[in-house]
Structure 1
Amino acid sequence: MRQGPPGIRLIQKVSSTRAFAKIAPHVVPAMDRAVHRLTRGKVMLSARMLPGLVLTARGAKSGRPRTTPLACMPEPGGSWILVGSNFGRPGHPAWTANLLAHPDARVSLHGEEFGVRAEPLTGQERERAWAAVLEFWPPYATYQARVEREIRLFRLTRKG
């Protein structure tokens, strides 16, 4: 299990509740966007619990840039795993459809912006990543148990 700030187990327990799933999608991204903008990309409040980045991908239908603050799991070698959990709510989050349609995206992380390529994970590669994700942040298991869909996983790899 991931080591983190004091009280991490309490945070994990709270983040597994249905109440959190109802409230968090409306509050957490808005706070992250505001703080990220005010600090010129250097800080995300939710990153106090989980590492995070801000993803900008083209909309699947509109083609317009869509910016979304997301938790991520850093991997050795400099890639990141994104989990399309949607806080355990039905339906895939929109950003996952955007990456499926347009895998080339941009990331803002610690005040730096750079291009990435998103790869949806399937089969054994997904199974290995899912096991690592569950060890990293156990509440994802609760999110998966709540929904019938398979939660999408993506690996982001830095371009250039």
Structure 2
Amino acid sequence: MTVTDEARRALDRQRTVEITTIGRRSGQPRRIETWRYRAAGRYWLTGSPGSRDWYANVVAHPAFTLHLHDLDLEVRGRPVTDPEERARIFGEIVPALDWGGSLESWIAGSPLVEIEFGGHGPS
């Protein structure tokens, strides 16, 4: 999928997004709210340190729906587990936050998923 200008504008406007994942055990759709960030010219999903069901669902079933106001995008999630990549991405995200948590705690314990758009992510 090529990301349209409309989708890019919607992504840039919304930090809080809704996603529908497929439950890793149930196989049923699960819609939740999470945070979207932009770093290294790409879009990411993450949250404060701790385990997240949505993350486990994306690991098990990478395809999910990203809901942006009146626009639904079929995307894939790429869980980021490489420590160096996590440090680079969180190094951009965490300093911009205006609430608690150290960079080290985010690197060690936060989910991190790159939103992939059919292999053609926005720059």
State the TM-score, normalized to the length of structure 1: 0.56
Change (3 A) 1:111 1:75: farther
2:27 is the alignment partner of 1:63: yes
4+ runs deviating over 6 angstroms: none
Change (3 A) 1:76 1:151: closer
Change (3 A) 1:102 1:132: same
Larger radius of gyration: 1
> Percent of counterpart pairs with the same letter?
26
Change (3 A) 1:52 1:150: same
SS at match of 2:94: helix
Q: CA RMSD in A?
A: 2.7
State the TM-score, normalized to the length of structure 2: 0.71
Q: How do 1:19-38 residues align onto structure 2 when only pairs under 5 Å count?
A: none
Return the letter of the residue paired with 1:124.
E
Larger % of strand: which?
2
Check the 8 A contact 2:36/2:46 in 1, yes or no: yes
Q: How do 1:6-155 residues align onto structure 2 when only pairs under 5 Å count?
A: 51-75=15-39, 77=41, 79-85=42-48, 88=49, 91-121=50-80, 122-139=82-99, 141-142=101-102, 145=105, 150-155=109-114
Check the 8 A contact 2:77/2:114 in 1, yes or no: yes
Question: Unaligned stretches of 5+ in structure 2?
Answer: 1-12
**More relative contact order in 1 or in 2 (CA 8 Å, sep 6+)?**
2
Return the letter of the residue paired with 2:66.
V
Change (3 A) 1:72 1:95: same
Larger % of helix: which?
1
